[in-house]
Structure 1
Amino acid sequence: MSKLIDDILLLILTELRFDSASLYSCILVNRTWCCLAIPILWKYFFYSYNPCVHKEESRKKLYNIIFHFLPKDKLSELNINLPSNPISNKLLFNYMDFFTYLSPIWIEDMVQLSIKTDSPSVQEEYVFEFEIYQLIFSKCKNIKYFDWIKNKSLFLFCPNVKEFFSGIRQLKINVEYMIPELLFSLGIINITDLEVINSKDNDDLISLIRMKNNLPLLCEQLSDMISSNAITLKKIILRLTITLISPSFFPSLANLQYLILYNDDDGEFYNSINWQEWELYLRTSFFPNLQYLETSYLPCNIEYLIIERSGGKISEINICHTLESRDYLIENEKLINIISMNCSKIIRLTMDINPNNLNLVGNIFSNCVHLKKIYYTKENNNSMSDTKDVVNSKDYEQYVN
C-alpha cells in the first residue's frame, strides 16, 4: 500500500511541475516527499524560455548546485569565485541527471548572476560560459530538448558537442543565428520534434544581410536534415519562408503526427511563390498518423492536399489566410468538402469561410460527429471580418437561419 501512496503522491507533485515555489515547499516536508519532488523540480525548472519567470533567489540556489561540479581551481585563476555558497556535504542526488532541457539563454543567466566582479572581462565570461557547457555536455546525459533561439554558439567548441547533439530528440532553432555549416557539422539524427523559426529580431543591418544571403543554403540543409530524420520525426513546426525549403522530404514522413506550416514570406505571398514543387511531392505523400494541422498563409490547394493525404486521424485543424485571400469561393468550397470527407475524427476546427459557402458548413457537422468546437471567420457586407464560435449543430442552425 505504501507503494500506492508514493505513486499517488508522485501524480500530485507532477501536477505542480511548473510551480517551482510549491515544489520547493514539498521538498521540505520529509525524505519521501523530497525524493519524489527533487527530480520534478529540476526537470521542469528550465522549461521556460525566460529565466526571469523564476525569482532570482531561486535561480541562484539551483545554479549554486550546478557550480559545485565546476573545476574550481581553473576558475579561481580567473578571479571567478564559485560557487557562491560552497557545499561541504556530499550531495544526496545526482542532480545533473535530472536535466532534460537546455537553452543558451539559461547559461547566459547563470554567468550574469554568478560572477561577483562588477566589470568582468569578456574573456572571463567566455571561459566561465565554456566551462558550464563542458560540464553540462559531459554530465547531463538525459537532456533531450535543446532550444537554440539566441545568438550563442560558444558550445560548438566543446570537444563532445556531436555526442551531446546525438542524444537530442527535440530541437528548436532560429535561422537568424545559424550559418549553413553548423547544421551539417553537428550531424543531428533521430530527432522527433523540430521547430524552425525566423524571429527577425536582429537590428544589425550587416547581420540581417548575412542571414538573408545564408537563408537559401540553410533551407537546403534544413530540408536534408528533415529527410535524414524522416523516420523518427513526429512533430514539425516551420515558421519561415517555407518555399525556400525543398518539400522532397514529405513522402518520407510516415510517422508525422503534428504539423505547423507558417509561411513567413515578407508579404510576397501572391506575387513570387511557385507552389508546383510542393504539389508534386504532396501528391506522392501519405500521412497516416497526422493528428494536428496548422497552416498560415498557404494556398488552399496545398492545405487540402495535406488533409486529403492524411489517414483520417486529424483531431484539430487551424487554417489562417490573409484578408486579401478570403475572396476564394471555389477553393474554399473544396477545402470545406475535403475536411468534411477526410476528417471524421476532428474535434476542433478553425478556418476562414467565404460567406457564399456558409451553408456547406452543415456537411462538416453531418460527417464530423466528434466535432466539439468550430471557430470560423467570414466577411460581411461591409468587408469587415466577422468571427463566430459555433459549439454544436444547433448553434450553427440558429446562426445561419
Structure 2
Amino acid sequence: MKRNHWLLAVALPLLLLAGCGAKEQDLGAGAPTPTPEVQIEEPQTQVLRSTDSRSYYTQNIRYDLETMTARAWRPELPRGYQITGEGPVSDGQALYFVLTRPGESASEALARMPLEDGAVQILYECREHEQIGIAYTDGAGEYCKRPILLRSGERRCFLVHQWTEEDGNSTWLYAWDPASGSCEPVKRLGSHLRFWGEYQGRAVLEDSWEPEAGLFQLDAETGELAVLLSGENAEAADLFLGPPLLIRGKFVCAESYAADSADGKNQVNCLNLETGDIKQLASSEEGEPLVRIQDIWDGKLRVRDTEGDVWYVDCATGRRVENVLADENGMLLHIRAQIGEYYLIDVGSDRWTKQLWINEKGEPVYSYAPQNRLALIAKEDYWAGRPDYRIFKQEGEAAE
C-alpha cells in the first residue's frame, strides 16, 4: 500500500513514548513471544552513538534495556539555553547533546550530562561563525541529527565548522579533557569536511570541494586523515564524491540525480571499500518515482521511492531482500538502532498522539495519529519476518 507523506509538524505527545524515527502501522498480529534476556557488549568504535550497553536515547526518552522500560530524561539547562531537536549520544557514563541560545546572536554549545548526577556541563560554546558538527546517525535516518562525538582514550573529540571572510571555511577537531575540564583544538582537518558515517570503528569524513575532494577516515587519537577514496579513482569519485552518502560497515551508498546520470535516470549505487566493487542497487525509469537512500543495516540498504514504497537491497549482491518484518499493510518496520545482535524497531499500538500542524495560511491545525512504541527484536527474526519482539513499557506501566 502506498503511504501518504505528511507535512513537517510539531508533535504534542500525549504519552512519553515519542522520539526519532519513521512512523509505521500496527502489525495486526497476535502477541509475540518474548525474546531472551539481552546481553550487550560495547562496540569497539571511536564514534559515540545513541545507544550504550544499557540504554537507547531519543530527544527526551531513555529506554532501559535491563528493565525494558521507558522514562523521560529532562535535564536542568543553563539559563537561556534549550536543547535542539537532536537527540544525545552516550559513552556509558554521560550524555552529550547540542544546546542553542535563541536571539539576535543565536549560538550553539556542546553539553555533557553525567548519568549519575544529571548536572549539565557546557563543554564548548561556539563563537560567532562557528557550528558544532552534527549528522544523521543510527536509524534516525532522515529524521534526527545528533552531535558527532569520538572517543580518544579518556578524551571526547568533536568537530567544529568555522567560516570567516578572511579565512573561508574550515573544519577543526576539538578535544575535551575530563582531567583538566578544558576544550582545546587538536587539528585543522580541512575546508569543507562533513561526517557521513564510520568505517572500521573510525569516523569517515567527506570533502566535496576540489582539489581536496575525497573520503577520509579520521583517527581521533592523532587527528590524522587516511584517504579511502580520491579523485584518482575517476569512476568511483564521480558516483560517491558530492551526492548525499550513507557509510556503514564496509559499504558506501549514494544517490545520483537524473540530471547528473549518463542515462538520465535517478540511481542508487554502492561501493565496497574492501574490494572496490561498485554495484547499482536501484534505478528509476523515466517518469517513475525517484529513489532515496535511508540507512544500511548489516550490509542491507533501506531505500524508498517518492510514493512511499520501502524495500531493502543487499549491498553485496544487488538483490532485493525478501521476507523482512512488515506491518499488515506490507510496510517494513523501521529500525531505530542496532544493539549487539538486536535491533530497536517501531511497532504499532492502539494509542494516539495529538499533533499540531501549520496549514498553508500559517494557522494551527490539530489532528491525531497512531502512537508507535519501541520494541527489541533479534536481528535474525527481523530479517526472517518473525514478529518475535519485546515492547518497552512506560515506567510504572503494568506488564501485558
Report which structure shows greater RCO (CA 8 Å, sep ≥6): 2
- Return the TM-score normalized by structure 1: 0.27
- Return the TM-score normalized by structure 2: 0.27
Q: Work out which of the two has the higher radius of gyration on C-alpha atoms and give 1 or 2.
A: 1
Higher strand fraction (1 or 2): 2
